[in-house]
Structure 1
Amino acid sequence: MNRLFFIFPAFLFFIQAARAQRPTDLWYFGRQAGLSFASGTPTPLLDGAMTTYEGCATATTRRGELLFYTDGQTVWNRQHQPMPSGRHLMGSGSSTQSALIVPDPGSGNIFYIFTVAPQGAPDGLRYSVVDMTRDNGLGDVPRANLLLVTPVAEKLTAVRHPNGHDVWVLAHRWNSNAFVAYLVTADGVAGKPVMSNVGSLNAGPGRNAIGALKFSPDGTRLAAAIWRESNRFEVYDFDRNTGKVSNARSFGPYAEAYGVEFSPDGSKLYGTCNGNTMSKTPSVSETQIIQIDLKTKAVVPVGHSSNHKIGALQRGPDGKIYVAREDNSFLGVIASPNVSGPACGYVDDGLKLGGRRSKLGLPGFVVEP
């Protein structure tokens, strides 16, 4: 009985510690916009220095304290100043998912910033190293722009390996149907990717490289938005042990498919599409959010925006899905994303940004199944 008494408090401590890990609580994005989910309810942050049209990423401690953020070109420290060597990363503020931050599995002080160039440009997929012990604990970038592969589309996402330590970073080759998966371990970033030839070709005019890539909450599925001229959303299976992508399923056409996000329970996929403003067909000229039921394959529009353009979708720590609206002082909000159809509760003016404005991007994070 005494032994159980000591084990039980230890178990409770473990549970509480796990719940205290909040690495997705802080978002910086858009035109100096930001959000904090630390209280459970998102509140605007007005201290951000970054203006980015699309991709961005934020790094925090596991308790949710700010470390740095980036648009794939500049790295700002927690005092909202550029790091001394953090000004010339080779991503782009006009790339859908221009930057993604991955903590080094072997060190609490090292982070990798992965970047992708816009529109299939030659700069390709690269990574830079942030060392938080430098500049008196504010961090700096001792190594930058290490090339992995070129060219690539504007797609970038990551998920934790089943071993609980390593991380898979995924991108998509340009003029190809190949996904590339790089494993990040305590030894660093793997030099050779796992390649999977599956699904649609990402090719054509450079703007066709536009569109997001996301993992499901359990890491077993992957979704992509493929912009002009494919105009579709695709869903794949993913093996977190091997890094292989397989079993493509396609949904469309949906003109100018851009953002994707899974519901918290993984049963639904949401996508944003901006239609074709030159079209005379109302069904394809509307800015809308669609919902795909991954079990029944039913596809329904669940919301329309008053904005001419909407962009990224991002699931928040509160289980809601947030929608970037270009040059708007509100984010759209899908309040109950596990629910089928319009009852999921999309609200266009869903979350006020305290006078700051969204663009097309929201920060992405490593998915932790």
Structure 2
Amino acid sequence: MQYHIVDITFDGGLGAVVTKNQVLRTPVSEKLTATLDDTGANTWILAHELGNNSFLAYLLTPTGLNTTPVVSNSGPIIQAGAAITNFRGNMKISPNGEYLCYASGGDSSLNLFRFDKATGIVSNPLDITNFPTQPFKQTPNKFYGVEFSPNNYYLYAGTSYVSSSGLVSESQMWQFSLADYDAGLITFRATFLSPGFSNEIGGIQLAPDGKIYVAHKDRPFLSVIDDPDAAGSDDMLSINAIDLQGRNSTLGLPNFTDINIDVDMFVDDLCSNQATDFLVESNYDIVSQLWDFGDGIISNIPNPNHVYGIPGDYTVSVTIQTLVGSATETMEITILETPIANQPTDFGVCTLEQFVAFDLCKLPLKPNCLKVE
């Protein structure tokens, strides 16, 4: 495992590699992932050693990389050996930084863990390999891709059966509910998502558009899960969704760091010619914001108010910038005409009765009659 340093100020802003091939640890598996720490200002970079069950968590801060890792001994041993399957397979951390999962080709296992983004510690291993396999012609013996849903409720994994000759006879996609952190319940609730494929399922990647993309080895397309936050169904995976224009996919996909920037917009007082109040909140500290009130007026005030002169429907958006990136929230609002209270005509009643009936229909300038007793 090595690292390199790029100085983006070099070459007119194009950047240059100023430090390279700095060895951190060897030997390691191909499992590599990253996530933000609890402050949102630093990044944990995680790897896994070979020949033991040691996770290595390196903290990257604005001042540089701490080359002394936090070591967690948890879960099964990833065996070292000559076979590439011993150390292949994806490792991912959920967008909220609470779960970690890796697929292991060597021992044909799927393993789930808790992750502490404050300390970098990996703990509480669960072996979720033995889920129902009735749709399979044979028990799967190979795992590679894994990924979490944006809402952190579901885990996705690709499974394959490989014969003794090394040929893949069937591959399938599965969804696992994380409602309960219990191996028995997670495997019991496993949901089959797709028909069998004759090619191995490779990398499974959550993209910035909120969709999950699936690689198929030696196939000229990618498959897509359009709504990975939804409960699983057998038609959830869109096959042949992305045409690779005659080129074939291999196993890998870009390993993005999954960051969920939540944006919540609140609006109060929706009357014309009066101040409408706006508020924005996020799960990360907001550095700056830009409001578009939908009537041609913009503002960079954190929580502004705005006066709409004309009743009607408006599309309001706010784009926030945080330490980890930007995000936009949009809302449709309806501005109502401000009601006008008319001064009624004074009238008097002289009576000794305890209760008096007023017939408002007899009052002037009142087209709608209302009788109150």
The TM-score by the shorter chain falls in which range?
0.5 to 0.7
Inter-partner Cα distance in structure 2 for 1:237 and 1:359: 30
- Report deviation, 1:292: 1.4
Partner of 1:166: 42
Letter in 2 for 1:290: W
CA contact (8 A) 1:194 1:244 kept: yes
Corresponding residue to 2:126 among 226, 249, 262: 249
- Report deviation, 1:202: 0.5
Letter in 1 for 2:244: L
CA contact (8 A) 2:199 2:218 kept: no
Identity of aligned residues (%): 39
User: What SS does the aligned partner of 1:357 have?
Assistant: coil
Where is the helix percentage greater, Structure 1 or Structure 2? Answer: 1
Inter-partner Cα distance in structure 1 for 2:234 and 2:196: 16
| 1:233-312 aligned within 5 A | 233-253=110-130, 254-278=140-164, 285-295=169-179, 296-297=185-186, 298-312=189-203
CA contact (8 A) 2:169 2:198 kept: no
Aligned residues: 242
CA contact (8 A) 1:307 1:326 kept: no
Partner of 1:357: 248
Gaps of 5+ in 1: 1-124
Corresponding residue to 2:2 among 123, 126, 130: 126
Letter in 2 for 1:235: L
| Larger displacement relative to structure 2 (207-216 or 335-344) | 335-344
Is 1:219 equivalent to 2:97 in the alignment? yes
- Report deviation, 1:318: 2.3
Partner of 1:194: 70
Is 1:332 equivalent to 2:220 in the alignment? no
Inter-partner Cα distance in structure 2 for 1:285 and 1:252: 19
CA contact (8 A) 2:91 2:146 kept: yes
User: What SS does the aligned partner of 2:13 have?
Assistant: coil
Inter-partner Cα distance in structure 2 for 1:189 and 1:264: 28
Is 1:232 equivalent to 2:109 in the alignment? yes
Letter in 2 for 1:215: I
Corresponding residue to 2:238 among 337, 347, 355: 347
- Report deviation, 1:303: 1.5
TM-score, normalising length: structure 1: 0.62
- Report deviation, 1:340: 2.5
Letter in 2 for 1:322: Y
Deviations 1:224-276 (A, max 9, x none): 00112x21111111111100011011111541100100111111111112211
- Report deviation, 1:279: 8.4
Inter-partner Cα distance in structure 2 for 1:146 and 1:196: 22
Inter-partner Cα distance in structure 1 for 2:73 and 2:194: 34
Corresponding residue to 1:175 among 46, 51, 59: 51
User: What SS does the aligned partner of 1:155 have?
Assistant: strand
Choose 1 or 2 for highest CA Rg.
2
Inter-partner Cα distance in structure 1 for 2:146 and 2:170: 17
CA contact (8 A) 2:74 2:124 kept: yes
Letter in 2 for 1:292: F
TM-score, normalising length: structure 2: 0.61
CA contact (8 A) 1:272 1:289 kept: yes
Q: What root-mean-square deviation, in Å, do the aligned CA atoms of Structure 1 and Structure 2 show?
A: 2.2
Gaps of 5+ in 2: 131-139, 180-184, 261-373
Letter in 2 for 1:248: P
Partner of 1:105: none
- Report deviation, 1:285: 4.4
